[in-house]
Amino acid sequence: MLADNLVKITDLNFAYDERPLLRGIDMAIPRGRVVAIMGGSGCGKTTLLRLIGGQLKPVSGEVLVDGESVGQMDHDELYAMRRRMGMLFQFGALFTDISVFDNVAYQMREHTDLPEEMIRDMVLMKLNAVGLRGAHHLMPAELSGGMARRVALARAISLDPMLMMYDEPFAGLDPISLGVIGQLIRKLNDALGATSIMVTHDIHESLQIVDYIYFMSDGRIVAQGTPDEIRASKDPFVHQFVFAEADGPVPFHYPAEDSFDRVLLGEVAHAAHA
């Protein structure tokens, strides 16, 4: 019997050298859902994706994907698990020296023994799903930013993954492209019967398409809930983040002396000694 949660993270701790980054993370990603991870820059969101994908190993705690501990896998087991994952990298990360068609075909050729005729049909199906079947012959340099992101999405779903991970999928997009990508993430997740984890700063678009949200700050989960619960949250950090307020738990001012006079006197004294 399959567990209800495709990804289960328990008391996860991680550090770069001696610098702690993630502290006691507990998270559950149900099958078939789209879940967002939000928070300020440097709080550990992308690192969390790397731990789920097995690029990094936790200091302590456990990351389970489809009931298997990612941190305990050997090379072959991890390689097999990653074949069942798709990743949309920030800004797409297309291979610049091969065509749109070959970008999407890459994983099929690398990981399967399918004949080229079948690969051709599947590539065109994936490109059609993101509205770019007619662009199969173009090179990445000929694409707009939104088109490149859609090609990267077609590549990410090329092997019909059980788990999709998105690292800032909306970064650098105009409002039309942003809306298109957001709707594609939701529709493709439902059509494929997949599960999606999305690291993003885009509040407005995310609240329209996700089922659940985790907020991170200083390496911890500080709030979580459905979009409606997040909108109504009285938590100061969540409120500041959702409504883009300049000051709050994340301060506008960098720590400084209380008095301008004290600062000025210190500068005068420094100049005098110089």
Taking Cα atoms as reference points, which of 64, 55, 84 lies closest to residue 4?
Answer: 64
Per-residue confidence at 179, pLDDT binned at 50, 70, 90? confident
Domains of the chain listed by start with CATH number: 5-84+164-177+197-273 (3.40.50.300)
Contact 186, 217 (CB under 8 A): no
The predicted-structure confidence for 193-251, as pLDDT tens digits, reads as follows: 899 999 988 778 888 899 999 988 888 888 899 988 888 877 777 777 776 666 555 55
**Residue 12, H or E segment:** strand 5-16
Give the CA angle between residues 84, 88, 201 to the nearest 5°: 130
Say which residues have a Cβ less than 8 Å from residue 31's Cβ, sequence separation at least 6: 2, 4, 5, 6, 195
Say which residues have a Cβ less than 8 Å from residue 74's Cβ, sequence separation at least 6: none
pTM of the model: 0.81
Distance CA 273, CA 271 (A): 5
> What pLDDT, on the 0 to 100 scale, is given for residue 1?
43
| Whole-number CA gyration radius for the chain | 22
| Better-predicted residue by pLDDT, 137 or 256 | 137
The predicted-structure confidence for 106-131, as pLDDT tens digits, reads as follows: 988 888 889 999 999 999 999 998 88
